[in-house]
Amino acid sequence: MSHDPSRQLPPGVSRAQAYEASQDAGINPSSNDTIASVIARRYGRRDVLKGLLAGTALAAAGTGLAAAGNSLPAAAETPSRFHFKEISHGVDRTHHVAEGYDVDVVIRWGDPVSADAPAFDPYNQSAEAQRKQFGYNNDYTAFMPLPLGSNNGNHGLLFVNHEYTNEELMFPGLGRQDTKEAAFAGMTADLVAIEMAAHGLSVVEIQKNPAGKWQVLRGKYNRRIDGIGSLCDVTGPVAGHPRLRTKADPGGRSVIGTLNNCAGGVTPWGTVLSGEENFHGYFWGKLDTESAEARNHKRYGVPDNWYAWGKYVDRFDIAKEPNEPNRFGWVVELDPYDPTATPKKRTALGRFKHEGATVTLAADNRVVVYTGDDERFEYVYRFVSAGRFDPANRAANMNLLDSGTLYVARYNADGSGEWLPLLHGQGPLTVANGFESQADVLIEARRAADLLGATKMDRPEEIEVNPKTGKVYAIMTNNSRRKADQLDAANTRAANEWGQIVEMVPTGNDHAASRFAWSLLLQAGDPNDPKVAGKYHAGTSANGWFACPDNAVFDSQGRFWVGTDQGEAWAKASGTADGIWAVETEGPQRGLSKMFYRNPVGAEICGPTFAPDDRTLFVAVQHPAADGGEKFTQSGKGSTFEDPATRWPDFNEKMPPRPSVIAITKRGGGVLGS
């Protein structure tokens, strides 16, 4: 996400600076080796700075970085796996896609979800209406075929996360309020309630009509899970723990809402996982420094005062309800096929700022979930279930995520890596270090990982598994705060504004193995600027490179499609609006990248998902107009409801811009990129 907390900041602080600040919310205080010292010991500082990682340091991993180099063949010499004509970098008020493809809006903020939902009227919005309508800032999407268990690419359930809200774009009359006081003054109890209702999840039934266009049906499956009234169960080792108990929930097992749902994953038994990411931003108030939660909240950046919720709703004021933040930051599981199902916060997967939760199976059918903690210098995690997936018994799989082991990754300089278990009583995770039980380890997963010596990464976003090769791709989006003395083999650049993609190969191709080999698939940013040192296949064109990879997806053929989120920094990072690039991961063209789709100004790419037949690519276009649209507003300042950088997708003078899920299809039918 690239939340815009600028309205709550003092005058003169830019929106980009505001987000930069928010990304330091939970500063990692550990002195964990960043590998800098390891690699410096081994290869010497000069070699690190020269980019030795592309050669010696990574050679052990078997696949060196696809750096621009003379030894790699030109693109024309080997056939591409992606057949489309590349589009250009650029930025304007609408979207662009490769020639021969269509972009259609499937559902927008405010569109009816439930059968009794009122029509959208942004001038007379209410929480009651919003609870029945599609939420704001669509992020992760999952396509769940109907019927359950089928591979139907024409009919299914669209599951969508609604990550956060942009008040200045949602509500008329707020304008841009450049101080925290002014922003909170502009918010009322009613507007806060609408915001809370616009968070959470949506499930909508969708079907392709005879013309090949997706339509939303308003049948029995459609539902909203929101941040204001939807109860979620807490399950696993932390359920009922005293640190989760509040006045409203003395049992510590039932939480109102799920918040900041970013990316997610689909389980083999047909449920969806959703990661609660930047939960710290919802809290305000002052915690007693003597409080038992003071150290914990500081490590997660709680409170961060992004919203006025705490002014009207006591549980978001940590002075009144110090345990409420412990009830967020989990992975949530929902069965979209059961419209009465209660979402479950699966605490065995740990508490941190989960970007997503990507599911695969170990060799013995234990369930493996990869999940990144998206903040500067945070970690990459993996969960392995205790029980095994049973393809013949759906009911037996439904609570597999409640017991198992959480691990955190260490990336060694020689291209090897290891998974360090977060197990109470093992190593430093002891009572002496403030962990009374496994519940404490999971609630304070970051501190546990600090003590284990995990590798501090450049903001881990989505992690994807290639269904054809089993290789794992962990996406680091950027880290402008990394300093020259904090470089390591996996995080190679100081003031890294562009990100990199780390490829991980589990030992024996078993996702439960304790070790893996790793290398860099590519280093994002401009490959032609020596100061940036972007590294791709040499055949990558002037439009083929990108900055700040974030959400990505493999199609069923094992082809990689990568989306970007540059936030306010897009002009500096790349000069192009965010988009989707097709990236080769195997063979002589490994590291070759081609631009396929481009967003309207101010929007980031979220939730790319293929229908099972690879004939539709769903994409969540998040916060159109919001990020860095100043050149496109009449005022020359940031976007507001009245003066947005774009009114995509409606282009109606009465309508604000609306976050929307789009469907990209090949005109006349066919597999994308064929």
**Residues near Ca ion (CB under 5 A):** 1, 477, 550, 565
Tell me if the bond preceding 303 is cis, omega within 30° of 0. Answer: yes
Strands 344-346 and 231-235: parallel
Tokens encoding 560: 């990689």
Q: SS3 of 209, please?
A: coil
488 binds, among Ca ion, ligand FEO, none (CB under 5 to 8 A by kind): none
User: Can residue 277 be called a binding residue for ligand FEO (CB under 6 A)?
Assistant: yes
The least CB distance from residue 357 to ligand FEO, in Å, is 13
195 binds, among Ca ion, ligand FEO, none (CB under 5 to 8 A by kind): none
User: Can residue 1 be called a binding residue for ligand FEO (CB under 6 A)?
Assistant: yes
Q: Taking CB under 6 A as the rule, which mask of x and - marks residues 203-242 in contact with ligand FEO?
A: ----------------------------------------
The least CB distance from residue 619 to ligand FEO, in Å, is 15
Residues 329-388 that bind ligand FEO (CB under 6 A): 355, 374
Residues 160-179 that bind ligand FEO (CB under 6 A): 163
Q: What is the Cα–Cα distance from 76 to 50, expressed in whole angstroms? A: 29
The least CB distance from residue 562 to ligand FEO, in Å, is 14
The least CB distance from residue 127 to ligand FEO, in Å, is 23
The least CB distance from residue 8 to ligand FEO, in Å, is 19
Q: What is the Cα–Cα distance from 75 to 80, expressed in whole angstroms? A: 8
Buried b / exposed e across 261-297, counting CB within 10 Å, b at 16+?
bbbbbbbbbbbbbbbbbbbbbbbbbebeeeeebeebb
Query: Half-sphere exposure of residue 583, counting CA atoms within 13 Å on the CB side?
Result: 30
Return the DSSP state at 73: P
Q: Of all helices (H) and strands (E), which one includes residue 36?
A: helix 36-43
Its sign, for the CA torsion 477, 298, 379, 350, is negative
Nearer to Ca ion, 249 or 550 (CB): 550
Q: Taking CB under 6 A as the rule, which mask of x and - marks residues 127-166 in contact with ligand FEO?
A: ------------------------------------x---
475 binds, among Ca ion, ligand FEO, none (CB under 5 to 8 A by kind): none
DSSP 84-145: S--------SS-EE-TTEEEEEEEETT-B-STTPPPP-GGG--HHHHTTB--SSEEEEEEEE
1, 114, 235, 287 from 231: Cα distances, Å: 24, 18, 13, 26
The least CB distance from residue 473 to Ca ion, in Å, is 14
Residues 444-503 that bind ligand FEO (CB under 6 A): 461
Tokens encoding 529: 């600027």
Nearer to ligand FEO, 106 or 605 (CB): 605
The least CB distance from residue 299 to ligand FEO, in Å, is 18
Q: Among 641, 514, 656, which residue's Cα sits nearest to residue 186?
A: 641
Where would I find the beta strands (DSSP E) of 450-514?
A: 457-458, 460-465, 472-476, 500-506
The least CB distance from residue 565 to ligand FEO, in Å, is 7
The least CB distance from residue 607 to Ca ion, in Å, is 9
277 binds, among Ca ion, ligand FEO, none (CB under 5 to 8 A by kind): ligand FEO
Residue number of the CB closest to ligand FEO reads: 1
Nearer to ligand FEO, 418 or 461 (CB): 461
The least CB distance from residue 263 to ligand FEO, in Å, is 7
Its sign, for the CA torsion 243, 249, 252, 257, is negative
Q: Of all helices (H) and strands (E), which one includes residue 408?
A: strand 404-411
The answer to whether residues 490 and 520 touch, using CB atoms and an 8 Å cutoff, is yes
The least CB distance from residue 591 to Ca ion, in Å, is 22
The residues near 440 (Cβ < 8 Å, ≥ 6 apart) are: 243, 424, 434
Q: SS3 of 590, please?
A: coil
Buried b / exposed e across 555-586, counting CB within 10 Å, b at 16+?
beebbbbbbbbbbbbbeebbebbbbbbbbbbe
- What is the chain's percent helix, strand, coil content, to nearest 5? 20, 30, 55
Its sign, for the CA torsion 164, 168, 172, 174, is positive
Nearer to ligand FEO, 287 or 619 (CB): 619
Nearer to ligand FEO, 297 or 353 (CB): 353
Size of the site for ligand FEO (CB under 6 A): 7
Nearer to ligand FEO, 1 or 367 (CB): 1
Nearer to ligand FEO, 25 or 262 (CB): 262
Tell me if the bond preceding 147 is cis, omega within 30° of 0. Answer: yes
Cα 380 off chain centre by: 13
User: Can residue 627 be called a binding residue for ligand FEO (CB under 6 A)?
Assistant: no
Residues 296-335 that bind ligand FEO (CB under 6 A): none
Nearer to ligand FEO, 22 or 32 (CB): 22
The least CB distance from residue 63 to Ca ion, in Å, is 26
Q: What is the largest CA-CA distance in the chain?
A: 67
Q: Of all helices (H) and strands (E), which one includes residue 50?
A: helix 45-50
Residue number of the CB closest to Ca ion reads: 1
455 binds, among ligand FEO, Ca ion, none (CB under 5 to 8 A by kind): none
The least CB distance from residue 61 to ligand FEO, in Å, is 26
The least CB distance from residue 20 to Ca ion, in Å, is 13
Cα 1 off chain centre by: 7
Nearer to Ca ion, 1 or 595 (CB): 1
Nearer to ligand FEO, 460 or 649 (CB): 460
293 binds, among ligand FEO, Ca ion, none (CB under 5 to 8 A by kind): none
Q: Among 614, 565, 25, which residue's Cα sits nearest to residue 279?
A: 25
Nearer to ligand FEO, 1 or 504 (CB): 1
Nearer to ligand FEO, 1 or 117 (CB): 1
Select from 158, 262, 502, 595 the one that contacts ligand FEO (CB under 6 A): 262
Nearer to ligand FEO, 323 or 564 (CB): 564
Nearer to Ca ion, 205 or 550 (CB): 550
C-beta pairs of 77-80 under 8 Å, 24+ apart in sequence: 77/588, 78/587, 78/588, 78/589, 80/584, 80/589, 80/592, 80/594
183, 643, 647 from 634: Cα distances, Å: 21, 7, 13
444 binds, among Ca ion, ligand FEO, none (CB under 5 to 8 A by kind): none
157 binds, among Ca ion, ligand FEO, none (CB under 5 to 8 A by kind): none
492 binds, among ligand FEO, Ca ion, none (CB under 5 to 8 A by kind): none
Nearer to ligand FEO, 193 or 606 (CB): 606
228 binds, among ligand FEO, Ca ion, none (CB under 5 to 8 A by kind): none
The least CB distance from residue 260 to ligand FEO, in Å, is 7
Residues that bind ligand FEO (CB under 6 A): 1, 163, 262, 277, 355, 374, 461
